[in-house]
Structure 1
Amino acid sequence: MNSQRPKVIISGGGTGGHIFPAIAIADALKRRYPQAEILFIGAENRMEMDRVPKAGYPIEGLWISGFKRELSLDNLSFPFKLISSMMKARKILKRFKPDIVVGVGGFASGPTMKTAASMNIPIVIQEQNSFPGITNKLVAKKAAKICVAYDNMDKWFPKDRIVLTGNPLRNNIVPMNDRRDEAVRYFGLNPDKKTVLLVGGSQGALGINKGISAQLASFNNNDYQLIWQTGNHYYDKALQEVKEHGLDDRIKCTVFIDRMDLAYAAADVVISRAGAMSISELSLLNKAVVFVPLPTAAEDHQTKNAMRLVDADAALMVRNDATEKELLPTVFGLLEDEERQKVMKDNIAKFAKPNAADDIVDQIEIILKSNK
């Protein structure tokens, strides 16, 4: 290994919750080793094939998808996809000759990590959630280090290899409270009005969207504003409803938010799923938040994530099946109670891990140096 030019493969993706921490790790590696060679391996036709090149890194795609837990014809092709992906991963690994492989979970991570381990290439796992994904559980025994965001992960991983680092965040996710007016204007809203931000993850969130639609007219009874990230499938419906209610000036719909830094800066209260990355970002930014956990998450881990903060008086929670009746009343009540907001902001800040990306690179560096 060239000590100043390590060769690193970062594998995984499928959703923003895997892709953004992967890019954050790559950025931290580049800060420490400007000459490092970094290659991503993702899943063909998934969002990482677009997002990673935009972040300035090369990526190769595998023909792989998730195994559906319910009966599905798609599962019939899974064994063929897995074999194809492992063969391609082996070719990439032989050609690139990485010093280490980092897996962040998701479809493409499994074939790459499993193949790397079989070739005696050191592997590092980065697990974002309080309940680990199948891929990371399967390869954990072969990992040199397992970087986690929650305590008590030794239920699934070898205790002697676990390091509590937190989740690495996008570089532009930094406190920007002093830029609130600029941020609100960026979205075409009024800096003198209180603003709600709805983020449903990289795919949007149907249950949350329906909750907003059901009580959209209630915005006519107050002076609040909304930045509404609808996702691709709900965008046209949301836009039409906003126009029908004459709320174009106070509710801004968008499929995806590129400037999340400004979106967070604009928000007085945030509505969000309770994915690991969302929680990490909101903790770092000290935001008052109402969580709506994704009910189909494995082992209901989003509810468990959210309840850790609710129990610490650091967040509120509305269940997905209650959004149409409870979501906006809960949000409006929080907007009206600034003292409650302050308590929640102070408490959620205690969950922040601002140096996660650098701490993960520390672990990578230890392994690189031990394998010289």
Structure 2
Amino acid sequence: MGPSVVLAGGGTGGHIEPMLALADALRRRDPAPRVTCLGTARGLETRLVPARGYELRLIPPVPLPRRPTPDLLRVPRRVLGAVAETRALLRELAADVVVGFGGYVALPAYLAARRERTPVVVHEQNALPGLANRVGARLAARVAVTAPGTPLHGAEHVGMPLRTAISTLDRSARRAEARAAFGLDAGRPTLLVFGGSQGAASLNRSAAGAADALTAAGVQVLHARGPRNTDVTVPARAPGQAPYVVVDYLERMDLAYAAADLALCRSGAVTVAELSAVGLPAVFVPLPIGNGEQRRNALPVVEAGGGMLVEDADLTPSWIAEHVVPLVTDPAVLARYAGHAAAAGARDADERLADIVLEVARR
């Protein structure tokens, strides 16, 4: 049995997916380390972690207010309680290393590890790090980041750990199968529209509003509107026209990427990393709220020539007709974009991060 590795990355898919990709990479090692995930009772990890076959241990959540509020005064007591419970878990698990991915699960794990003198490895997904990882980086033996230039103490550019279904995807080899799976034509230029797991209202409105312009130009569309956005509909295309397929959710993102020639999407860290890893160019529409991290996530790929960026307020049906239609119908330009996107991506970040984690654990 290998070392005991504790992973802290609950809350959102942006923290959980890279955590599970690392867990899978560790499980492929010989001897395989013992992997335990930390999470809270209210996060997506309660469903996703057990489904992938990993043990999940729960600790109290410590959400950090983004602005000064009366709730900020209660944070120190919550942190102390969560750290005490996490220290007990680390002792029980005989942890050799703690790996944190940010968020309200990671901060108590970092502080508990410091108290227990257990080494820490930090992985930051976003180009603009959050508070937990800014603290964790100061305590860590190694700090891995997805985007070059991420402002964290001691940062090493590693990339985003991805599921093997994505990191090993050959889009051209799976294209015919993928398009058939979604009811798309085999030979038409294909636009993939999605706004994350819950959809994005502005992308939905603009893409649906541009449906006639897209399909009239021979562009077929695979549009994931989000499970709560069932009001977004597009009339069925006439026989012989390019199809416009609307789904609530994409269970098989690998097939969606294989089917597409271009994506129109948000620029969350995992989305940007997946698209660049598989060499799928994109028109990124950063989420217009928050601290601007989605724009920062997309910039390295856009600056490398692997995509375009449009602000949410500027995305309209006419913008899509003017900019997206000419791009997705030009195979030579698309090929250049795809090559630049692939060059900006990293397919082996899970293995590289596993090497770092095991080196720290053995040290």
C-alpha displacement of 1:87: 3.4
Change (3 A) 1:106 1:199: farther
C-alpha displacement of 1:78: 5.2
Q: Does 2:226 match 1:231?
A: yes
Q: Could you report, residue by residue, the CA deviation over 1:223-267 in whole angstroms, capped at 9, with x for unpaired residues?
A: 322222222322x112xx22xx23499333333322111110011
Aligned to 2:270: 277
8 Å CA contact retained: 2:35, 2:55: yes
Aligned to 2:152: 156
**Distance in 1 of aligned mates of 2:86 and 2:199:** 31
Identity over aligned pairs, percent: 31
1:349 counterpart SS class: helix
**Distance in 2 of aligned mates of 1:135 and 1:233:** 31
C-alpha displacement of 1:317: 1.3
C-alpha displacement of 1:356: 1.0
8 Å CA contact retained: 1:175, 1:284: no
Aligned to 1:99: 96
Change (3 A) 1:62 1:330: farther
**Distance in 2 of aligned mates of 1:23 and 1:347:** 28
Structure 1 stretches lacking a partner, 5+ long: none
Change (3 A) 1:79 1:197: farther
C-alpha displacement of 1:72: 7.1
Aligned to 1:295: 288
Change (3 A) 1:117 1:231: farther
Q: Could you report, residue by residue, the CA deviation over 1:73-124 in whole angstroms, capped at 9, with x for unpaired residues?
A: 8768755654443333223222222111100112211111221122111110
**Distance in 2 of aligned mates of 1:134 and 1:189:** 44
Change (3 A) 1:30 1:141: same
**Distance in 1 of aligned mates of 2:324 and 2:250:** 21
8 Å CA contact retained: 1:318, 1:326: no
Change (3 A) 1:43 1:254: farther
Structure 2 stretches lacking a partner, 5+ long: none
The total of aligned residue pairs comes to 357
Q: Does 2:350 match 1:357?
A: yes
- In structure 1, which of residues 113, 117, 120 is the aligned counterpart of residue 114 of structure 2? 117
Q: Could you report, residue by residue, the CA deviation over 1:38-81 in whole angstroms, capped at 9, with x for unpaired residues?
A: 11112322222211111111212333264342577876875565
Alpha-carbon RMSD: 2.4
Q: Does 2:105 match 1:108?
A: yes
Aligned to 1:208: 203
Aligned to 1:317: 309
Change (3 A) 1:152 1:268: closer
| Higher mean C-alpha deviation, range 195-204 or range 134-143 | 195-204
**Distance in 2 of aligned mates of 1:182 and 1:46:** 34
**Distance in 2 of aligned mates of 1:231 and 1:75:** 33
**Distance in 2 of aligned mates of 1:132 and 1:210:** 31
8 Å CA contact retained: 2:3, 2:362: no
| Higher mean C-alpha deviation, range 247-256 or range 70-79 | 70-79
1:280 counterpart SS class: helix
Matching residue's letter, 1:198 = V
